[in-house]
Amino acid sequence: MKIKNNLKPFCVFILILFSISNLNSAEKNYYQDIVHDWNKIFPDKNRNAAGPKFFKYILDKDITYNDFVEYNKLYCAVSGSLISPNSTPEFVYLKENITEKKICGAYYRCCIPCSCDLMKYSKTQKMKYKFTDIEKEFYVLTIDNPCGKKDFPVQVNKNYFCNGDNLDKSQVSVLENKLVIGYLHESRPCLSTDLDYINTHQVTGKFCEFRNNTPLNQLKSGMGDIFIKLAR
């Protein structure tokens, strides 16, 4: 009996290790899927400000809502850069389209200027979608249709987003003529304490105040003026 009793903790330990290993493997697979399909998402390899291409690629997959959430942690909606698994998100707020209410949530970004640019130049909007396991309503990140801009940034592949002056719905997700650039994680209406935290935070408060008051032609960090020209 002693031997059997001693084996129980060992078996539990092995099961825990196996579960952790499976979780890590699953998480890495999300990232590997995107890397594997990189050339399909970006045939010319230009991912500048191409968060909308990532979002559409993920949404078109035959996946669960949880898969959708995990995939959306792996790219920056502002820059189009990939983000390493297990990265820490920024807590941000955006105004909701139409109502102008402030919606708080977690945003996975490649570098800190992207959080500032997102909060200033993007809005959020509810989207409903049926996944393989559930129909879910969630907040997405949006910008106005940029396709008719005369100063559309040359660093961005316009053909990824646009069909003439219209958004190309075969390549990007569109809500009421707004371009969906990404997903707002853990979103909810902001509390006053949330706004206090964001406005006094070293990045979303102090740094963003400095960045968002810097003239466009003087921005030298992050995606600089590329996303801002696309979104303003």
Distance CA 36, CA 14 (A): 32
Distance CA 43, CA 149 (A): 23
Residues with Cβ within 8 Å of residue 42, at least 6 apart in sequence: 50, 53, 157, 160
Q: What pLDDT is attached to residue 232?
A: 87
Q: Find tokens 């002056």 and name the residue.
A: 165
The DSSP code for 211 is: H
Domain ranges in the chain are 37-231
pTM given for the model: 0.85
Q: What pLDDT is attached to residue 224?
A: 63
Q: What is the pLDDT along the chain (232 residues), one digit of tens a residue?
A: 444 444 444 333 333 343 443 444 444 489 999 999 999 999 999 999 999 999 999 999 999 999 999 999 999 999 999 999 999 999 999 999 999 999 999 999 998 899 999 999 999 999 999 999 999 999 999 999 999 999 899 999 999 999 999 999 999 999 999 999 999 999 999 999 999 999 999 999 999 998 888 887 777 655 667 898 899 8
Q: What pLDDT is attached to residue 126?
A: 97
Distance CA 28, CA 166 (A): 36
Residues with Cβ within 8 Å of residue 181, at least 6 apart in sequence: 51, 52, 55, 77, 78, 122, 140, 141, 142, 143
Q: What pLDDT is attached to residue 214?
A: 80
Q: What pLDDT is attached to residue 2?
A: 47
The DSSP code for 151 is: T
Q: What pLDDT is attached to residue 220?
A: 66
CB 119 within 8 A of CB 102: no
> Structure tokens of 159?
């053909």
